[in-house]
Amino acid sequence: MPPIQPPAAGRYPAGGLAFPHRDLLGIGQLQTHEILYLLDEAEQWVRLNRMPSKHTDVLSGLTIINAFFENSTRTLLSFEIAGKRLGADVVNMHAAQSSVKKGETLIDTAMTLNAMRADAIVIRHSSSGAVALIAGRVDCPVLNAGDGQHEHPTQALLDALALRHKLREGGREEFNGLRVTICGDILHSRVARSNILSLQALGAVVRVCAPPALMPMGIEAMGVEPFHSFDAALDGAEVVMMLRLQNERMQGQFVPSPREFRHLYGLTPQRLALAEPDAIVMHPGPMNRGVEIDSEVADLAGRSIITDQVEMGVAIRMACLDVLTRRARGVPGWAPVNRAQWV
Amino acid sequence: MKQPRPLAIVGGRLVTPDGVRPGTLRCEDGRIAALGDVAPQDGDDVVDAGGALVAPGLVDCGVFAIDKAAFHFGGITRAALMPDQSPPLDHPARVRFAAQSGKPDMWVHPLAAATVALEGGHLAEIALMCDAGAKGIATGRTWIADSGIMLRLLQYAAMLDLVVVSHAEDSGLAGSAVATAGEMATRLGLPSAPAEAEALAIARDVALAEMTGARLHVRQVTTRAGLNLVRAAKQRGVSVTAGVTPAHFMLSDLALAEFRTFSRLSPPLRSESDRQAVIEGIGDGTIDVIASGHDPRWPEDKRLPFADAEPGMAGAETLLAMTLTLVRDGVIDTARAFDLLARNPARLLGVDAGEFREGAEADLALIDPERPWVIDSAKMDTSAGNTPFDRQPTQGRVLALWKGGVQVGTKPRR
């Protein structure tokens, strides 16, 4: 195991003050330096994950429950790997959406998980605010792995980390003034919301692009510039982040057809040429190749960082699990605080 | 309950349609016998109001549950019960039962379901329900999407001279929305509908009311565009009235922050600009009725993710105090407040109450409009404390309440 190198001393408030939150419910609750702290913490895990032996005992003896009330493959897998590489006992709970439709059951489920003395609970739920609701009923840290159309904080953090790595390759340290265009189903996307908040906190200038039916009203109040024309939105873009369009939304309810969506909003090589010469391509996955993104672009070596995003996901989730359990583990400087003092 | 002895309330400030004036109110046999400069007679029960307001008992136009303790706390002596019961009030027997359910210390005026099972498909037996005690017709929590059904409903209601209480949200636009489209809904990621859903619904219903001559009461008008339509219709002489609940003039959609389900209402809370428009509408007379929309919800209905929670607030206890804030802010005067809370709704329902005049039902409340208190969901008299005004300091309390000259309810305990 490599020596764990903490973030640069003096850059952050000392000890537990660097991250004074019990839960990670959304980017909206974080200050810029807290986002940076998690990114810096994740770097050590990026290095570990590239070693032949990818195991530490930091969370040895702790139980982490991944409670997924909505289907997920990659996020669940990423959290599971993250927990296991840190040495925790990881349990996955797939709650079929039908059996937990009623909220009584949701609260009861939360109390049940709590009674099993989990040390951290990772939750995904299809209803905005559901994770916060559960967090209020349990005694351990709760990580939001996506709640409805509200937030998906670890996705935004891993996107920022992947982007930072790529920018550093090009000799750029800061996000200040970075022009990012997010395109796709903004209306239904928690990834878009978390990324808007995090990228702006880090100093980027964010544009969002979607057809009117998939653009939420009042989005400009979040400080972004909305576009309906993808070509216009790409002009000057240094980063292009595509979002997945759910199949059921392409059948006439929101968008007439997949090929019509591709016609207006697909990231083709020709479209990508409208952005800055070395514009970075991102996608949270899973991709609809040939709809919102062409294979040629998705696999574009040196420009597409889609697989880096997946790699950074594990490191970010390791960092979040590590940081949020420090108080319970009695890490020096991370004194337990009573409930009323949580931010 | 029959009034055993005449009642004389002295030393109060009487709230009459023409203004507030000092005087004595005498009630005999359940009715107002005299008011103003009159003296108590031998054998009267004499109550000294000590300078408090003596006002008509509130007539609450559109509640979802009969919750006597809350109504008595709030000074409400009559409540028009929405047909959204389980089972719905779409049958004469159920209406008859509901009409008796307030006895002996509360008037319950059922509103008949406009359509069978409130599904908006088939007209219910409205005339029979009217004979069974229904004082109006209501579309329930939802709008009737089928314009043909709505036309025939209004024609029928016009013939029977019954008011139609409508819920104004275009169902196609509203869909499964739980918030008004805008910054707040976008930040929280909540399913939302544009505020125009209300104006669309009102525009159609007003057009049909104008065509049929029916009396249309839009139970809640909560947007500037909707109020403009009502204002214009009134100027044309259309028989349309508008109501609102305190939530929509006290709160904007900022109250949804942190997914507070007590702020999940139907129609949803609106923008600050629309909230201001509601206050203007109350001030200029576009809005005729302020009602509680009383809808107590147990934790099983509210302790849920926001979009899964049921809409509604327990509003009976806060109706009076919230309306009195408009008096203190100079939007309306006290007499007009009780027009909105009692006189206008009584007229809509065609009941002989809601204002002080000789011969009217002696439903009255003794009110200290300045008395401070703090709204506390844990201490409310209602069966469930789902108020969006929790922990808010406010002013104005009912000191005593009479129905038909007989004191009802207990003295306020807190």
Query: What is the reported pLDDT for B160?
Result: 96
Rounded Cα distance between B269 and B262, Å, is: 11
Give the mean model confidence (pLDDT) for residues A96-125: 80
pLDDT tens-place string over residues A214-238: 999 999 999 999 999 999 999 999 9
Nearest residue on chain B to A189, judged by CA atoms? Answer: B189
What number is the ipTM of this complex? 0.91
- Tell me the two tokens of residue B241: 């009235």
The DSSP code for B339 is I
Look at chain B and report how many structural domains it folds into.
Answer: 1
Query: What is the reported pLDDT for A341?
Result: 59
Establish if B398 belongs to a structural domain.
Answer: no
Query: What is the reported pLDDT for A109?
Result: 86
Q: Which residues, at least 6 apart from B15, have a Cβ–Cβ distance to it below 8 Å?
A: B53, B54, B55, B56, B334, B335, B338, B356
Q: Where residue B222 sits, what CATH number does that domain have? A: 3.20.20.140
CB contact B192 to A (< 8 Å): yes
Query: What is the reported pLDDT for A263?
Result: 96
Contact B305 A128 (CB under 8 A): yes
- Tell me the two tokens of residue B18: 């023409």
Query: What is the reported pLDDT for B412?
Result: 44
What percentage of residues in chain A have a pLDDT greater than 90?
83
What percentage of residues in chain A have a pLDDT greater than 70?
92
Do strands B364-374 and B393-403 pair parallel, antiparallel, or not at all (unpaired)?
antiparallel
Task: State the pLDDT confidence band at A248, using cuts at 50, 70 and 90.
Answer: confident
Contact B259 A129 (CB under 8 A): yes
Establish if B110 belongs to a structural domain.
Answer: yes
Q: Which residues, at least 6 apart from B24, have a Cβ–Cβ distance to it below 8 Å?
A: B8, B9, B10, B11, B12, B34, B35, B36, B37, B38, B39, B40
Pick A103's closest partner by Cβ from B182, B186, B303.
B303
Give the mean model confidence (pLDDT) for residues A109-129: 93
- Tell me the two tokens of residue B279: 């206050």
Rounded Cα distance between A223 and A219, Å, is: 8
CATH of domain A15-152+309-341: 3.40.50.1370
Q: Which domain holds residue B93?
A: 57-349
Q: By the 8 A CB rule, do B291 and B60 touch?
A: yes
Establish if B305 belongs to a structural domain.
Answer: yes
Query: What is the reported pLDDT for A323?
Result: 97
CB pairs under 8 A between A and B: 80
List B residues 23-42 in contact with A (Cβ-Cβ < 8 A).
none
Q: By the 8 A CB rule, do B97 and B342 touch?
A: no
**Nearest-CA distance A46 → chain B (Å):** 31
Query: What is the reported pLDDT for B311?
Result: 97
Rounded Cα distance between B48 and A178, Å, is: 74
CB contact B52 to A (< 8 Å): no
Q: By the 8 A CB rule, do A29 and A132 touch?
A: no
Rounded Cα distance between A69 and A92, Å, is: 11
Cis before residue B191, ω within 30 degrees of 0?
A: no
Q: Poorest-confidence range of A98-112, B73-87, B200-214?
A: A98-112
- Tell me the two tokens of residue A102: 């009623």
Q: How many CA atoms lie within 13 A of A97 on its CB side?
A: 9
What's the gap between Cα A230 and its chain centre? 24
Q: Which residues of chain B have a CB within 8 Å of the CB of A193?
A: 186-187, 189
Establish if B9 belongs to a structural domain.
Answer: no
DSSP A274-285: TS-TT-EEE--S
Better-predicted residue by pLDDT, A7 or B308:
B308
pLDDT tens-place string over residues A184-194: 999 999 999 99
Q: Poorest-confidence range of A89-103, B92-106, B382-396?
A: A89-103
Establish if B177 belongs to a structural domain.
Answer: yes
Task: State the pLDDT confidence band at A99, using cuts at 50, 70 and 90.
Answer: low
Task: State the pLDDT confidence band at A312, using cuts at 50, 70 and 90.
Answer: very high
Pick B189's closest partner by Cβ from A102, A107, A190.
A190
Query: What is the reported pLDDT for A102?
Result: 53
Better-predicted residue by pLDDT, A6 or B105:
B105
Query: What is the reported pLDDT for A97?
Result: 54
pLDDT tens-place string over residues A329-342: 999 999 877 655 56
Nearest residue on chain B to A152, judged by CA atoms? Answer: B189
Closest CA to A183 of A150, A218, A224, A145: A224
Neighbouring C-beta atoms of residue A84, cutoff 10 Å: 16
Nearest residue on chain B to A130, judged by CA atoms? Answer: B305
Single-letter residue type at B78:
R
Contact A221 B192 (CB under 8 A): no
Single-letter residue type at B299:
P
Contact A128 B188 (CB under 8 A): yes
- Protein fold of A155-306: Rossmann fold (3.40.50)
Query: What is the reported pLDDT for B135?
Result: 98
Establish if B281 belongs to a structural domain.
Answer: yes
- Tell me the two tokens of residue B79: 């409540």
3-state per-residue secondary structure call for A71-115 = CCCHHHHHHHHHHHHCCCEEEEEECCHHHHCCHHHHHHHHHHHHH
Note the maximum CA span of chain B: 68
Contact B190 A149 (CB under 8 A): yes
Query: What is the reported pLDDT for A96?
Result: 61
Rounded Cα distance between B379 and B145, Å, is: 40
Contact A221 B186 (CB under 8 A): yes
The DSSP code for A293 is B
pLDDT exceeds 60 at position B324: yes
The per-residue pLDDT of chain B, averaged, comes to 96
Q: Hey, where are the domains in chain A?
A: 15-152+309-341, 155-306
Q: By the 8 A CB rule, do B245 and B289 touch?
A: no
Q: By the 8 A CB rule, do A119 and A139 touch?
A: no
Contact B189 A147 (CB under 8 A): yes
Query: What is the reported pLDDT for B413?
Result: 42
Kindly provide the b/e burial profile for residues B351-370, where b requires at least 16 CB atoms within 10 angstroms of the residue's own CB.
bebbbbeeebbbbbbbbbbe
What's the gap between Cα B168 and its chain centre? 15
The per-residue pLDDT of chain A, averaged, comes to 92
**Nearest-CA distance A152 → chain B (Å):** 11
pLDDT exceeds 50 at position A1: no
Query: What is the reported pLDDT for B213?
Result: 97
